[in-house]
A and B are shown apart, each in its own frame.
Chain A
Amino acid sequence: GAVVSQHPSWVICKSGTSVKIECRSLDFQATTMFWYRQFPKQSLMLMATSNEGSKATYEQGVEKDKFLINHASLTLSTLTVTSAHPEDSSFYICSAPRTGMETQYFGPGTRLLVL
């Protein structure tokens, strides 16, 4: 069964509003989680690393003030897209490495459409 969940699975919002996406590890603790973005017909692109107890680290070109990340607990990371615009419409996917098992589990993704 799924070991990483995301909520919501899809969201439609108006331009200028903020959207929060949750990522949860269901049966293990994750001190680190990752956020990816995927545009249609493209591959996944890493956006940022979410660290429990410290600030997130962002990949080059990703605006940290626009994509706010909070790793609230060992099982929850949230990504908030602030002042969303149509170009932010994308498929957002989180992942969490399972320590000791050398594998990384991905959430089912959240599809965001900004009108």
Chain B
Amino acid sequence: DAKTTQPPSMDCAEGRAANLPCNHSTISGNEYVYWYRQIHSQGPQYIIHGLKNNETNEMASLIITEDRKSSTLILPHATLRDTAVYYCIVFRAGGTSYGKLTFGQGTILTVHP
């Protein structure tokens, strides 16, 4: 699976949009971009995933560039409860490695009042 690069930390004011970038320049055509987050002392929580189209769900939006080499996770109205480590993972769904997620260091997002 392709490697990802994320900034180690970001800050965001409560109520504002949080935009978390991720670079995955070696992504291949059949690899998805997944985002998970881990709130302190909890298991990771699935947020969203996409292949090449932008995606939106009740938690966030995922914007993938046309060349698929980078993406941005958008939390439209960040709250204090969104403070967590956010992981961007590139993953090929299906196949023998199905489910074997490789976690990088992620981005520590701190939402402040």
- Give the interface of A toward B (CB within 8 A): 4, 6, 32, 34, 36, 43-46, 49, 91, 93, 95-97, 102-109, 111
Binds A, one of B22-30, B58-66, B67-75, B100-108: B100-108
Contact between B32 and A108, CB atoms less than 8 A apart: no
Contact between B43 and A97, CB atoms less than 8 A apart: no
Number of interface residues of B (CB under 8 A): 21
Contact between B41 and A111, CB atoms less than 8 A apart: yes
Dominant secondary structure of chain B at its interface with chain A: loop
Contact between A44 and B98, CB atoms less than 8 A apart: no
Contact between A97 and B41, CB atoms less than 8 A apart: no
Dominant secondary structure of chain A at its interface with chain B: strand
Contact between B44 and A106, CB atoms less than 8 A apart: yes
A49, chain B: closest CB distance, angstroms: 7
State the CA gap A19–B43 with chains docked (Å): 20
Contact between B32 and A109, CB atoms less than 8 A apart: no
Nearest CB in chain B to that of A110: its residue? B43
Quick one: which of A43, A103, A109 contacts B46, CB cutoff 8 A? A103
Contact between A32 and B98, CB atoms less than 8 A apart: yes
Contact between B41 and A104, CB atoms less than 8 A apart: no
